[in-house]
């Protein structure tokens, strides 16, 4: 009898240990995920994906759904895609974006492209230090999407597709998962098939005008050696055409306003006076379809942008010395700031900028609205 009791006790303890082990194992179990395979041109250089957010097929799929789902907003009417439309290279065509409050926001919607390269600080004023950190800010911003994250998580957890997608991507539904998934989807938005890319790969030649524009784009003018230039390269890197990645090298004061009207810009993040009025130099990929231009969308056309650099520069304390100094005439220095480009040179630079449009990126189905494709039941 005693022996049976003893055996029963042993069995009972064994059972508890087994159940507890299975429970603990299932709690800590990472979902089986598959890394995304992608290609990018060698000339883009090193890319960065955070170690704690590997780029998986599952996280990208979840991110794509979240990106296009207005459930992320307080009134269920605004999604990320409301201000980042694929056909406009993920911009919205407005000078200043409008969210749930109906008020114009402070900034022009930024194009989302090649985000694994270029500046490591996001938003026009660099206030987010990672894509993950960036992703939740519009969701919670009172004028953008106006959501409460705790409420959003409850809402999402009641929807079957999100139960599945979160479980597959991260094993659980959390705010961190929302941020990671949105960041992952955005990392896949790679544009590398424009005419400029094809030219770099040796597949096409540029027209005479485009090639003339490319040379001007890539040159800082130097009248001492008769080199004419558009000086674009001083802020927009040669292959990515974005701002530079290192530290805050990708931010510049490009002479939009005098001191009295100078917006904070990067100063808001660093609190350094030298950074007042500095904004992120955006990528110029697909620039022909991302009008209007500048952080506040003040210029409607590329002609207006070029006119700004060609005589419209306003002085301020933090204005880039490269902009003041870049002049294609030798005798106008320090008086009136202008590139002093000829009209045909301006036109050539604009022709080159048009070679940065990547139709296959603007129409790539992998980046499109999954809800329109009936992929909900995947």
Partner 1 sequence: MIKPSKIIGLMSVVLLMSSIIIWHNTLPKQITLRFYPTIGDKPLELNNARYPNPGGEGDFTIRDFQFFISNLELINNRNNYTEHESYHLARFDVGKGYYDVIIPDVSVGKFQQLVFNVGVDRKANGTIVVAGDLDPNSRMAWNWQVGYKFLLLEGSLFTQGKQKPLVYHIGFNESYTRLNFPLNSNTVSNDGTIELKVDILALFNQAELIDMNEIPNVKFDPEDVAKIANGFQNFISIL
Binding site for partner 1 (CB under 8 A): 43-46, 117-118, 218-220, 222, 224-225, 227, 233, 237-240, 242, 244-249, 272-274, 321-322, 324-325, 333-334
DSSP string, 195-228: HHHHHHTTS----HHHHHHHHHHT---BGGGTB-
Tell me whether residue 20 or residue 43 sits nearer to partner 1 (CB atom): 43
In angstroms, the CA 246 to CA 241 distance is: 14
If you ran DSSP here, which 8-state letter would residue 309 be given? I
Q: How far is the CB of 347 from partner 1 (least distance, A)?
A: 21
- Region for residue 286 given its phi and psi (left: phi exceeds 0; alpha: psi -120 to 50; beta: otherwise): left
Q: Closer to partner 1 at the Cβ: 242 or 290? A: 242
Question: Using CA atoms, how far apart are residues 79 and 135, in angstroms rounded to an integer?
Answer: 12
Q: How far is the CB of 215 from partner 1 (least distance, A)?
A: 9
Give the nearer residue to partner 1 in terms of CB position, either 103 or 315.
Answer: 315
For the CB of residue 193, give the shortest distance to partner 1 in the complex, in Å: 18
Tokens for 101, please give them: 């409050």
- Residue closer to partner 1 (CB basis): 176 or 324: 324
Q: How far is the CB of 63 from partner 1 (least distance, A)?
A: 25
Shortest Cβ 206–partner 1 spacing (Å)? 15
Q: Looking at the chain, how many residues does it have?
A: 378
Query: What is the DSSP secondary-structure string of 297-308?
Result: --B-SHHHHHHI
Choose among 133, 119, 73: nearest CA to 98.
73
The dihedral region occupied by 334, where left means phi > 0, alpha psi between -120 and 50, and beta the remainder, is: left
Q: Which is nearer to partner 1, 57 or 245 (CB)?
A: 245
Could you tell me the CA-to-CA distances from 154 to 72, 151, 182, 214, 299 in Å, in that order?
A: 12, 5, 18, 52, 42
Q: How far is the CB of 324 from partner 1 (least distance, A)?
A: 4
Of 83 and 287, nearer to partner 1 (C-beta) is 287
Q: How far is the CB of 314 from partner 1 (least distance, A)?
A: 14
Which residues of the chain form beta strands (DSSP E)?
Answer: 251-252, 279-280
- Nearer CB in complex with partner 1: 118/370: 118
């Amino acid at each position: 009898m005693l022996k049976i009791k003893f055996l029963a006790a042993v069995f009972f303890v064994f059972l508890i240990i087994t159940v507890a082990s299975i429970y603990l194992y299932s709690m800590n179990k990472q979902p089986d995920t598959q890394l995304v395979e992608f290609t990018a041109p060698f000339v883009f250089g090193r890319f960065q994906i955070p170690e704690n957010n590997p780029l998986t097929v599952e996280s990208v799929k979840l991110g794509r759904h979240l990106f296009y789902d207005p459930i992320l907003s307080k009134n269920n009417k605004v999604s990320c895609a409301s201000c980042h439309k694929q056909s406009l290279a993920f911009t919205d065509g407005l000078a200043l974006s409008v969210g749930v409050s109906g008020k114009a926001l402070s900034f022009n919607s930024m194009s989302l492209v090649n985000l694994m390269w270029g500046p490591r600080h996001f938003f026009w004023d660099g206030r987010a230090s990672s894509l993950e950190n960036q992703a939740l800010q519009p969701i919670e911003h009172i004028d953008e999407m106006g959501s409460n994250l705790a409420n959003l998580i409850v809402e999402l957890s009641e929807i079957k597709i999100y139960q599945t997608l979160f479980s597959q991507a991260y094993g659980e539904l959390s705010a961190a998962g929302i941020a990671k998934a949105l960041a992952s989807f955005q990392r896949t938005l790679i544009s590398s098939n424009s005419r400029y890319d094809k030219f770099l790969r040796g597949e096409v030649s540029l027209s005479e005008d485009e090639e003339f524009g490319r040379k001007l784009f890539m040159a800082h003018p130097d009248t001492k050696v008769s080199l004419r230039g558009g000086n674009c390269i001083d802020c927009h890197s040669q292959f990515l055409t974005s701002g530079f990645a290192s530290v805050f090298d990708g931010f510049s004061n490009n002479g939009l306003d005098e001191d009295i009207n100078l917006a904070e810009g990067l100063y808001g993040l660093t609190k350094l006076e030298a950074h007042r009025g500095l904004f992120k130099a955006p990528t110029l990929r697909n620039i022909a379809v991302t009008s209007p231009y500048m952080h506040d969308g003040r210029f409607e056309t590329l002609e207006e942008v070029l006119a700004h650099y060609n005589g419209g520069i306003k002085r301020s304390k933090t204005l880039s010395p490269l902009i003041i100094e870049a002049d294609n005439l030798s005798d106008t220095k320090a008086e009136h700031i202008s590139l002093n480009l000829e009209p045909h040179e301006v036109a050539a630079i604009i022709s080159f900028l048009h070679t940065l449009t990547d139709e296959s990126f603007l129409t790539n189905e992998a980046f499109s609205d999954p809800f329109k494709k009936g992929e909900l039941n995947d």
